[in-house]
Each structure stands twice: as structure tokens, then as C-alpha cells.
Structure 1
Amino acid sequence: MNTILITGCSSGFGLETARYFLDRDWRVIATMRTPRDGLLPPSDRLHVLPLDVTDAESIRRAVDAAGPIDALVNNAGIGLLSALEGTSTDTARELFETNTIGTIAMTSAVLPQMRERGAGVIVNVTSSVTLKPLPLLSVYRASKVAVNAFTESLVPEVEPFGIRVRLVLPGRAPDTSFGDNARERMAAGFPEAYGEMAQGLFAGWQTETESTRTVDVAEAVWRAATDPSCPLRLAAGADAVTWMREAA
């Protein structure tokens, strides 16, 4: 039985991906900062563990408790919509600590066991905004572009040991709390001078007909984990597919 460890399973993409793999008879290690009952259906193949990807000891405990891991999904992340003028360096560090360093730390923690077994898959969930510059997303986008670059260079580094590395790029997902959380963080110190720009960005999103469903991301992660022939970058969601086509 294959085992997958997924970070950030309390909601959204991580939660849906955990359900998706459970339904397909995988052993699922669903991790989140504060585990809660009832998020996932009871199963003897499900193990919910506490994990903070910014804490080295928390990572060590979770990886040790998980046992042999066939696939790692680095999904945990935080969003931010803000003008750079209203973004403190502490906030920027928080984004990079979770989105970028957290991904690197989790990957580093599982690589030794995968290398020793000569097999494994690492799937890094980033964002379709890495394909297209947008205002008010500079720091968030930078944290995700860094993961893309990290992943691209990791591919030839670990391929000789039988380890595959893939990227999943979701689009805008209105059925998750990610956007709302990002806007809440924006409100904390958003400069009034950029208010019209923000309203225009939000209005554009509301009129878009294409978006990403959580199941789109779960399906992309499934392909990345199970199909050795799939490309390095997988767009997840109709809008992400469009953006990837335009960026090609």
C-alpha cells in the first residue's frame, strides 16, 4: 500500500487531495498545524498528524511518525494580497518561511528515505500567478516562484536516485478560504493610495468565468504522483490551463 504525506490539510486543496487519495486506497498522512476531528472520513488508512512546516522539530516528529513515505505533497501555504508599501519585512519573512522554506525543509526531511529506497515522488503546489505578473501579489508571487526554481533544479539532482519531482500550479479557487484569508491579511496595513487598484483587481476576478475547483488540484496531484510520464508542470483548473497556454 502506497503512503502519501500531505501538508496543509485543514481545508482547501490539501483536504480535497487527502480525500481523493483515501478514495483510491492509499494510506494518507494528513497533516495540519492544529488537527481537528471530522474533517476526513474515518479510515484505518488515515492518520492525522500535527505539523508546522516552519518548525524543524515538528517536521522531524511528523516524518518519523509517518513511516516510509512514497509521495510527499508540499501544499501548506499562506496568501497575501498587498501593495509592497503596506507589507512589512516581518510579513514577507512569514510568507517565505511557510511557502518557500517550509517546502524546502519538508523535502529535505523525506529525501534520505526516498533515496535509500530508490523511489519516491515529491509534488510541490505553487500557483498559476507564477506564470503572470499581477499587482498586489509581488511578495506572494516571489515566494512561489522561488519554489518553482527550487523544484526545477531539484529534478536533475534527485532523478539519478529514482525520485520524481513535479509542480502543480492551481488557479483562482473561489471555493476555498485562501482568497479571503489573503484579503484579511491585506487589510492590516493596506495603503489607501492603492485602493482603486485593489478594487479593479477584485472586480476582474468576480467577472472571470474560469476558475479552479479543489478537485482539479487533487486530480493534478494524483497524476503527478502516479504518472511517471507527466510533465514537470501541471496546471490545475481551467484558468490555470489558460494562463499556462498563454505563457508558453
Structure 2
Amino acid sequence: MKTVLITGCSSGFGLETAGYFLKQGWKVIATMRTPREDLLPRSEHLRLLALDVTDAESIHHAVEAAGPIDALVNNAGIGLLSAIEGTSMDLARDIFNTNTFGTMALCKAFIPQFRQRKSGVIINVTSTVTLKPIPLLAVYTASKAAVNAFTESLALELAPFNIRVGLVLPGLAPSTDFGKNAASRMQNVFPEPYEAFAANFFANAKNTAVVTYAADVAHAVWQAVNDPSAPMRIPAGADAVALAAQSL
């Protein structure tokens, strides 16, 4: 029985993906900052681990506790909608620390065991905002675009050790807690000159009919992990698939 470790499992894509892999008969190590036993069905194949991807000691403890795994899914991430003029550099660094450097740190932590076994899969979850410029998402997009570039280079670096590396790019997912979780970071990030523009942006976003669901991402991650012939980049969600086709 194979084992997958998934980051960011407290809600949204990570939670859905953990549940999906469980149903498919995998052992699942679901990580989150503060583990909650009520989120996923009890199973002898499920382990919950505390993990803060921005904390080196937390990563070390999680790697030691996890032991050998077959696949790593870097899903943990935080969002931000803001005008760059209203975004402090401390806030920008927070976004990169989780979305970019957290992903890099987890890869670095698990690569040694994959390399020694000459087997393993790493899937990094980013976003289709990296495929088409969207206003008020400059910092967030930059953090995810960096992971795209990192992943594509890493795939070449690890191929000689039989380690597969890929990307899953979700679209807009209003049904998850992503926006709600970002709200606490969005205080005073729209200076007065940007308020009307931001209000119009939010109104248009709410009218979007074609979106991504958490199940779309879980299925895409499953494909990325289990299909050696899968493409490097897999869009997840109807809107993501359409956008990816336009960007070819």
C-alpha cells in the first residue's frame, strides 16, 4: 500500500484530496498547522500530522514522523488580493514564505529519501492565475509563478533518480475557504484611489459561472501522482482547462 503526504489539509483542495486518496486505498498523511480529527473519516490508513511549512523545526519533525512516503503533494498556500501600493513588504514576504519557500522546503526535506530509493513523486499545486494576468493578484501570482518555474527545473534535476515532479493548476474556486482565510490579510490593502476598481473587480468575480471545485483538484492530483504519462502541467476545473487551452 502506497503512502502520500499532503500539506494544507485543513480545508479546500487539501482536505478533498486527502479524502480522495483514502477512498482509493492509499495511506494518507494529512498535515495542517493544527490537526483536527473531525475533518476526515477515521481510518487505520489515515495519520494527522502538525506541520507549518514556514517553520524549519516543524518540517523536520513532520519528516521524521512521516517516515517513508511514495508521494508528496505540496498544497499548502495562502491567498491575497491587494493593490501592490497597499501591500507591505512584510505581507508580501509572508505570501512567499508559505506559497513559494514552504514548497521548496518540503521538496528539499523529502528528496533525499526519494533519491535513495530511486522512486517518488512530487506534485506542487499552484494556480491558473499564472497563465493569464489578473489585477490585484500581483504578489500572489508571483509566488505561484515562481513555484511553476521551480517545479519545471526540479523535474529535470530529479529525473536521473527516477523521481517524477509535476504541477496541478486549479482555477477559481469560490466554494472553498480560500477567500475567507485571506480576508484577515486584506485589511487596508486597497488605498482610496483603488477602491472603485477593486469593488468592480469583486463584483465581476462573483458573476463567474464556470469555476473549479475541490473535487476537480483531487482528481487532477490523483492523475498527476499515478499516471507516469501525465503532462507536466495539469489544469484542474472547467475554467482552468479552458484557460490552459487558450494559453497554448
What is the TM-score normalised by the length of structure 1? 0.98
Secondary structure of the equivalent of 1:144?
helix
Query: 3-state DSSP class of the match of 1:234?
Result: strand
CA distance in 2, matches of 1:53, 1:182: 17
**C-alpha distance in structure 1 between counterparts of 2:110 and 2:144, whole Å:** 21
Q: Report the Cα offset of residue 34 of structure 1.
A: 0.6
> What is the CA-CA distance between 1:207 and the residue it aligns to?
1.6
Q: Which residue of 2 aligns with 1:99?
A: 99
The separation in 2 between residues aligned to 1:27 and 1:52, in whole angstroms, is 21
Structure 2 counterpart of 1:154: 154
2:143 is matched with: 143
Q: Could you list the runs of 4 or more consecutive aligned residues of structure 1 that deviate by over 4 angstroms after TM superposition?
A: none
How much has 1:76 moved relative to structure 2? 0.4
The answer to whether structure 1 residue 51 and structure 2 residue 38 are counterparts is: no
Alignment correspondent of 1:197: 197
Residue 133 of structure 2 is aligned to residue 133 of structure 1: yes
Alignment RMSD, CA only?
Answer: 0.9
Give the Cα separation in 2 of the matches to 1:122 and 1:207: 35
Structure 2 match to 1:14: 14
Give the aligned residue type for 1:56: A
Matches of 1:244 and 1:204, distance apart in 2? 21
Q: Which residue of 2 aligns with 1:235?
A: 235
Partner of 1:164: 164
* Partner amino acid, structure 1, of 2:32: M
Partner secondary structure for residue 187 of structure 1: coil
- Shift in Å at residue 214 of structure 1? 0.2
- 2:112 alignment partner AA: P
* AA aligned opposite 1:215: A
Match of 2:80 in 1: 80
**Distance across 2 between alignment mates of 1:175 and 1:239:** 14
Which residue in the other structure is 2:66 paired with? Answer: 66
Residue in structure 1 matched with residue 185 of structure 2 by the alignment: 185
Report deviation, 1:203. 1.7
2:235·2:244 contact (CA, 8 Å) conserved in 1? yes
Counterparts of 1:204 and 1:90, CA distance in 2: 29
Q: By how many angstroms is 1:108 displaced?
A: 0.3
Unaligned runs of 5+ in 1: none
Q: Is the 8 A contact 2:190 2:198 kept in 1?
A: no
Q: What CA distance in whole angstroms lies between the structure 1 residues aligned with 2:61 and 2:181? A: 28
Structure 1 SS opposite 2:85? helix
CA deviations over 1:28-70 (Å, ceiling 9, x no partner): 0000001112100000000000000011111111111111110
Quote the offset at 1:91 in angstroms: 0.2
- Greater mean alpha carbon deviation, residues 201-210 or residues 129-138: 201-210
**Which stretch shows the higher mean deviation, 101-110 or 176-185?**
176-185
Shift of 1:200: 1.8
CA–CA distance in structure 1, aligned partners of residues 173 and 238 of structure 2: 10
The residue aligned with 1:34 is 34
Q: What does the per-residue CA deviation read over 1:156-209, in whole Å, with 9 as the maximum and x for residues that have no partner?
A: 100110000010000110111112233442234321211121122112212211
Q: What residue ranges of structure 2 are gaps of 5+ in the alignment?
A: none
TM-score, structure 2 length as denominator? 0.98
Tell me the number of residue pairs that the alignment of Structure 1 and Structure 2 aligns. 248
Secondary structure of 1:47's counterpart equals: strand
Q: Say whether the 8 Å CA contact 2:8–2:76 is kept in structure 1.
A: yes
Q: Distance in 1 between matches of 2:72 and 2:200?
A: 37
- The aligned amino acid for 2:59 is I
Following TM superposition, by how much is the alpha carbon of 1:219 offset from its aligned partner in structure 2, in angstroms?
0.2
State the one-letter code of the partner of 2:213. Answer: R
Distance 1:51 1:183 in 2: 22
1:216, distance to aligned residue in structure 2 (A): 0.2
Q: Provide the rounded CA distance (Å) in 2 between the counterparts of 1:243 and 1:208.
A: 14
Q: What is the CA–CA distance in structure 2 between the aligned matches of 1:230 and 1:190, rounded to whole Å?
A: 40
